[in-house]
Structure 1
Protein backbone atom coordinates (compact mmCIF):
# COMPACT_ATOMS: atom_id res chain seq x y z
CA UNK A 1 0.00 0.00 0.00
CA UNK A 2 1.23 3.49 -0.75
CA UNK A 3 2.14 5.97 1.94
CA UNK A 4 -0.83 7.87 3.41
CA UNK A 5 -0.49 11.66 3.72
CA UNK A 6 -2.76 13.91 5.75
CA UNK A 7 -4.53 16.71 3.88
CA UNK A 8 -6.90 19.33 5.21
CA UNK A 9 -9.65 20.48 2.83
CA UNK A 10 -12.23 23.23 3.18
CA UNK A 11 -15.63 22.09 1.91
CA UNK A 12 -19.05 23.68 1.75
CA UNK A 13 -21.23 22.32 4.56
CA UNK A 14 -23.70 20.83 2.06
CA UNK A 15 -20.95 18.86 0.29
CA UNK A 16 -19.62 17.50 3.58
CA UNK A 17 -23.13 16.41 4.54
CA UNK A 18 -23.51 14.56 1.22
CA UNK A 19 -20.17 12.84 1.71
CA UNK A 20 -21.08 11.87 5.28
CA UNK A 21 -24.41 10.45 4.09
CA UNK A 22 -22.62 8.39 1.43
CA UNK A 23 -20.14 7.15 4.03
CA UNK A 24 -22.95 6.08 6.34
CA UNK A 25 -24.92 4.42 3.52
CA UNK A 26 -21.87 2.43 2.38
CA UNK A 27 -20.57 1.69 5.91
CA UNK A 28 -17.28 3.44 5.16
CA UNK A 29 -15.37 6.22 6.83
CA UNK A 30 -15.61 9.73 5.45
CA UNK A 31 -11.93 9.54 4.47
CA UNK A 32 -12.48 6.28 2.59
CA UNK A 33 -15.39 7.77 0.63
CA UNK A 34 -13.34 10.83 -0.30
CA UNK A 35 -10.42 8.63 -1.46
CA UNK A 36 -12.70 6.44 -3.58
CA UNK A 37 -14.47 9.39 -5.20
CA UNK A 38 -11.21 11.23 -5.92
CA UNK A 39 -9.68 8.11 -7.46
CA UNK A 40 -12.78 7.56 -9.61
CA UNK A 41 -12.79 11.18 -10.78
CA UNK A 42 -9.09 11.10 -11.65
CA UNK A 43 -9.43 7.79 -13.51
CA UNK A 44 -12.43 9.12 -15.46
CA UNK A 45 -10.52 12.29 -16.34
CA UNK A 46 -7.50 10.25 -17.44
CA UNK A 47 -9.71 7.99 -19.58
CA UNK A 48 -11.38 10.99 -21.24
CA UNK A 49 -8.02 12.59 -22.05
CA UNK A 50 -6.67 9.30 -23.41
CA UNK A 51 -9.70 8.78 -25.67
Structure 2
Protein backbone atom coordinates (compact mmCIF):
# COMPACT_ATOMS: atom_id res chain seq x y z
CA UNK A 1 0.00 0.00 0.00
CA UNK A 2 1.08 3.56 -0.63
CA UNK A 3 1.38 6.33 1.94
CA UNK A 4 -2.33 7.10 2.00
CA UNK A 5 -3.56 3.61 1.32
CA UNK A 6 -3.30 3.70 -2.46
CA UNK A 7 -2.40 0.34 -3.91
CA UNK A 8 1.13 0.02 -5.22
CA UNK A 9 -0.25 -0.97 -8.62
CA UNK A 10 -1.94 2.42 -8.98
CA UNK A 11 1.44 4.16 -8.72
CA UNK A 12 2.94 1.75 -11.25
CA UNK A 13 0.03 2.37 -13.63
CA UNK A 14 0.68 6.11 -13.43
CA UNK A 15 4.35 5.51 -14.20
CA UNK A 16 3.42 3.40 -17.23
CA UNK A 17 1.01 6.08 -18.47
CA UNK A 18 3.84 8.55 -19.12
CA UNK A 19 4.57 8.27 -22.83
CA UNK A 20 8.15 9.46 -22.53
CA UNK A 21 10.91 6.99 -23.32
CA UNK A 22 13.07 8.94 -20.87
CA UNK A 23 11.76 7.92 -17.48
CA UNK A 24 12.95 6.22 -14.35
CA UNK A 25 11.18 5.05 -11.23
CA UNK A 26 12.70 5.98 -7.88
CA UNK A 27 10.92 4.56 -4.84
CA UNK A 28 11.55 5.89 -1.34
CA UNK A 29 10.00 4.50 1.79
CA UNK A 30 7.99 6.67 4.13
CA UNK A 31 6.33 10.02 3.64
CA UNK A 32 7.60 13.13 1.93
CA UNK A 33 9.98 13.88 4.79
CA UNK A 34 11.80 10.62 3.97
CA UNK A 35 12.40 11.61 0.34
CA UNK A 36 15.95 12.89 -0.26
CA UNK A 37 16.13 16.47 -1.59
CA UNK A 38 18.03 15.39 -4.70
CA UNK A 39 15.10 13.12 -5.61
CA UNK A 40 12.63 16.00 -5.31
CA UNK A 41 14.82 18.28 -7.41
CA UNK A 42 15.30 15.61 -10.08
CA UNK A 43 11.56 15.03 -10.22
CA UNK A 44 10.98 18.74 -10.66
CA UNK A 45 13.41 18.84 -13.57
CA UNK A 46 11.62 15.91 -15.20
CA UNK A 47 8.23 17.63 -14.99
CA UNK A 48 9.72 20.88 -16.31
CA UNK A 49 11.02 19.02 -19.37
CA UNK A 50 7.95 16.93 -20.14
CA UNK A 51 4.87 18.80 -18.98
CA UNK A 52 5.37 22.15 -20.63
Q: Normalising by structure 2, report the TM-score.
A: 0.34
Higher Rg of the two aligned structures = 1
Q: Relative CO higher for 1 or 2, CA cutoff 8 Å, sep ≥ 6? A: 2
Q: Normalising by structure 1, report the TM-score.
A: 0.35
Higher percent of residues as helix: 1
